[in-house]
């Protein structure tokens, strides 16, 4: 933490619930051969899971995408404190940034944690992923139900489910990794304008 005071109990919970979870996520991705090249953390928030992934697997290049200017400024400061190269912060909503040719379909892997239901996340994240690349999302106990609900979005966005992996429970929370493979280019109409994917999910 860069500021504020937290108790030892809170510190232990943060390490277990957030950092260790991110590293367990990364280990599974690395074992599956997915953690390579350019990676984008969509809705990075406090830098999770993107920052731990970049620190533990220095061969990857990571973009931390965050819509909140305040959170993005925090991340910029944190990168400076850590003197961490190979990692950049981009400020903006996914729906807007994905229209920029610098970012669209240029990443091997997109990762996301606690961003949106899968059927919404697919529209936000897949436009960043190259054809043949992957989206890996950390999900809770409703992961299977989210996959079922995402069927129409998978068809519209030319993607398939590549796997579902249950992680060991941490801090009393069950987590799963959902892997999505991008089979063809994202149609030009996606993502729709800011706010629409969440308000009117593909169905």
Lowest mean pLDDT among 5-14, 124-133, 170-179: 5-14
* SS3 category, 14: helix
Indicate the domain borders of the chain: 14-199
* SS3 category, 153: helix
What percentage of the chain's residues is helix, strand, coil (to nearest 5)?
Answer: 40, 30, 35
pLDDT score of 23 more than 60: yes
The CATH homologous superfamily for domain 14-199 is: Vaccinia Virus protein VP39 (3.40.50.150)
Residue with tokens 């579902």: 164
Rounded to 5°, angle at Cα 30 from 44 and 89: 25
* SS3 category, 162: strand
Taking the CB of residue 79, how many other CB atoms lie within 10 A of it? 18
Q: What is the pLDDT of residue 170?
A: 66
Q: What is the pLDDT of residue 168?
A: 80
Q: What is the pLDDT of residue 1?
A: 42
Q: What is the pLDDT of residue 150?
A: 98
Mean pLDDT over the full length of the chain: 91
Mean pLDDT of 157-178: 87
Stated as kind and residue range, the H or E segment containing 87 is: strand 87-91
C-alpha distances out from residue 118 to 90, 112, 140, 144, Å: 22, 10, 11, 10
Mean pLDDT of 178-186: 98
Q: What is the pLDDT of residue 6?
A: 37
Q: Report how far residue 3's alpha carbon sits from residue 62's, in angstroms, rounded to the nearest whole number.
A: 24
Residue with tokens 């925090």: 74
pLDDT band of 12, cuts 50, 70, 90: low
Decide which of 140 and 17 is more confident: 140
Query: pLDDT of 115-159, one tens digit each?
Result: 999 999 999 999 999 999 999 999 998 999 999 999 999 999 999
pLDDT score of 27 more than 70: yes
Q: What is the pLDDT of residue 167?
A: 87
Decide which of 173 and 142 is more confident: 142
Query: pLDDT of 31-86, one tens digit each?
Result: 999 999 999 999 999 999 999 999 999 999 999 999 999 999 999 999 999 999 99
């Amino acid at each position: 933490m860069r500021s504020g005071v937290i108790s030892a109990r809170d510190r232990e919970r943060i390490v277990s619930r957030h950092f260790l979870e991110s590293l367990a996520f990364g280990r599974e991705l690395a074992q599956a051969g997915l953690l390579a090249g350019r990676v984008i953390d969509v809705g990075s928030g406090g830098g999770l899971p993107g920052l731990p992934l970049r620190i533990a697997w220095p061969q990857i290049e990571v973009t931390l995408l965050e819509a909140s200017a305040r959170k993005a400024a925090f991340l910029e400061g944190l990168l400076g404190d850590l003197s961490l190269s190979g990692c950049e912060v981009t400020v903006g909503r996914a729906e807007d940034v994905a229209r920029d040719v610098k970012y669209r379909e240029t990443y091997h892997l997109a990762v996301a944690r606690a961003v949106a239901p899968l059927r919404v996340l697919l529209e936000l994240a897949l436009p960043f992923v190259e054809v043949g690349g992957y989206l890996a999302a950390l999900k809770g106990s409703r992961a299977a139900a989210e996959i079922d609900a995402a069927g129409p979005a998978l068809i519209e966005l030319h993607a398939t489910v590549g796997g579902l992996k249950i992680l060991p429970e941490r801090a009393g929370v069950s987590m799963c990794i959902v892997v999505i493979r991008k089979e063809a280019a994202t149609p030009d109409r996606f993502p729709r304008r800011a706010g629409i994917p969440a308000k009117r999910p593909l169905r």
